[in-house]
Structure 1
Amino acid sequence: MANPESNKKKVRGWKRRIREVEDWKKRCIGLDLDTLLVDHKDYVKLWIDPWYRLVRRNPPQWLTRIIFKAMVEIYCSWHEKLRDLNEPFYLKIWLYHPSFTQSQIVVAIKEQIQYYESLFDRDLQSKKFPSHFFAGEEITGRFEWKLHKDASTYWLSELEEDIRLGLMTANEVDALIRRSYSEGMMELSYGVDKYYKVGEGDVWIGEWRADIDVRGEQ
């Protein structure tokens, strides 16, 4: 027979997780315009224990949906403040899938807009946005989502150093290079180096649809 005390502890634990999401939302919902006007960028990550630790793991799907709804509330609050600036701004939700705990809300103004607009490589696959995973069409459908690549960049000089140090084998490096979807040469501070980009997953970048008034979501 199941231990009833164990079940009660489990319920209390998940109630605490929900409170932690609410506390995180309250800490982040107010956009710091002073910081934005100095740095021209700001962001909020999913700083919610225990999911945002050195070894990260995704929360269960029902909690993921609660977190996503909190992200939308933060987004709407930030959007309202940004309208008062009377200048162009970048405000988007980055949803990593399947690595949800890497997701962020990002804002930028002035020269930082172009930086963030070109940060990710587009993924032109005809994938459908996984709305069921986050909240369903009622909420996710308020955004326009574009698919990008969650990629890691590897430098040939570092890979060769890893082989020399015994951190990777030549076969492992060859396998990694074969997985890359893009490669090229780049001028760096120490000279010219070759890079390889390897896809790790998806990043869905969402922006509030222009035909929906965000003020009605506050």
Structure 2
Amino acid sequence: MQKTKKIRGHKRRLKQIEYWKQFHLSTNLNEILYKWQDHYAKIRIYPWNGFTTGNSHVPEPRGKTREAMLNGLFDIYENWKMQLDKMGEPYYLKIWLYEPNFSKSEVVCAIRDKLHKYDNTFLEAENNAVLKTEPYGSARFKIEAMEWEHNIEEEHHTNFVGEPGDYASLDDFNASRQFLKQMLKKPHRTTIYEEPIGDITEFYSFKRGNVWIGGD
């Protein structure tokens, strides 16, 4: 069983958030996009940086910490928008707001050959849910000033398990096969490849939450 890690040092976290925000505000998009044609600003604040140690679960940021992160995303969005407008060409610029996995939220932009790269990143939600702004404190006013599309965050697995010889031990092989078997007992959707990739003929998508795509 995973333990929930207690988050301490909130003043220090707020300083880290400010540093993270200023780093992205100083980004020269023209230079980066000329080379890569897309860019993003993920929330990279310890301990919400995607890395955990031991058997522990990091709770999602709340209160002033979450509010500061979201305000940071909006500030980055506005700064990048000004830079992109000056470039004078079509662009993709959105905030991806995850719920309940807020710490995965980010600002994403793209131009030219990658302009439509993110059009089908997520499964579009079929309901008419509305983004609730109350939990976000003062940042809710910025949320309400944007248009938001409701999408689904999913975790994907393929049907490929392999052969016993592909694993360090038979126990590892059986554990991988059992894991997939247990996963498929959960609600999911199945996509079948028109052309198999080796032994991969289909993949399974499991809902993990919502993603709200926001922009002007």
Structure 2 counterpart of 1:195: 203
Measure how far apart 1:137 and its partner are. 3.9
1:179 matched residue in structure 2? 187
* TM-score, L = length of structure 2: 0.81
Q: How many residues align?
A: 197
Whole-angstrom CA distance in 2 between matches of 1:80 and 1:183: 40
Shift of 1:101: 1.1
Does residue 96 (structure 1) correspond to residue 114 (structure 2)? The answer is no
Residue aligning to 1:144: 147
| Structure 1 unmatched ranges of 5 or more | 1-9, 209-218
Decide whether the 8 Å contact of 1:97 with 1:203 is kept in 2. yes
Partner of 2:63: 61
CA distance in 2 between partners of 1:198 and 1:15 (Å): 36
Deviation (angstroms), 1:117: 1.2
Using a 3 Å threshold, how does the CA distance of structure 1 residues 143 and 36 change in structure 2: closer, same or farther?
same
The worse-fitting range, judged by mean Cα deviation, of 127-136 and 152-161 is 152-161
Deviation at 1:43, TM superposition (A): 0.5
**Separation in 2, partners of 1:57, 1:186:** 39
Other-structure match for 1:36: 33
Q: What letter matches 1:78 in structure 2?
A: W
1:45 corresponds to which residue? 42
Q: Would you say the 8 A contact 2:160–2:199 is kept in 1?
A: no
User: Against the structure 1 CA distance between its residues 186 and 153, is the aligned structure 2 distance closer, same or farther, given a 3 Å change threshold?
Assistant: farther
Equivalent residue for 1:167, pick from 175, 192, 207:
175
Taking only the aligned residue pairs, the percentage that are identical comes to 23
Partner secondary structure for residue 49 of structure 1: coil
- 106-115 vs 50-59, which moves further: 50-59
Cα deviation 1:72-91 (Å, max 9, x = unaligned)? 01100000000011110000
Q: Is the 8 A contact 2:96 2:214 kept in 1?
A: yes
8 A Cα contact 2:93 2:110, kept in partner: yes
Unaligned stretches of 5+ residues in structure 2:
1-7, 53-57
Range 189-198 or range 24-33, more displaced? 189-198
1-structure distance, mates of 2:204, 2:11? 44
How far apart, in 1, do the equivalents of 2:100 and 2:204 lie?
A: 22
Secondary structure of the 1:179 match is coil
TM-score w.r.t. length of structure 1: 0.80
CA 1:178/1:20 → structure 2, altered by over 3 Å: closer, same or farther? closer
1:3-60 Cα distance to aligned partner (Å, 9 max, x none): xxxxxxx7xx222211111111111113322111111000011111222141354122
2:4 aligns to what? none
Q: CA RMSD in A?
A: 2.5
Secondary structure of 1:74's partner?
helix
Distance 1:158 1:148, change over 3 A: farther
- What one-letter code is carried by the residue in structure 2 that aligns with 1:14? H
Say whether residues 1:23 and 2:25 are aligned partners.
no
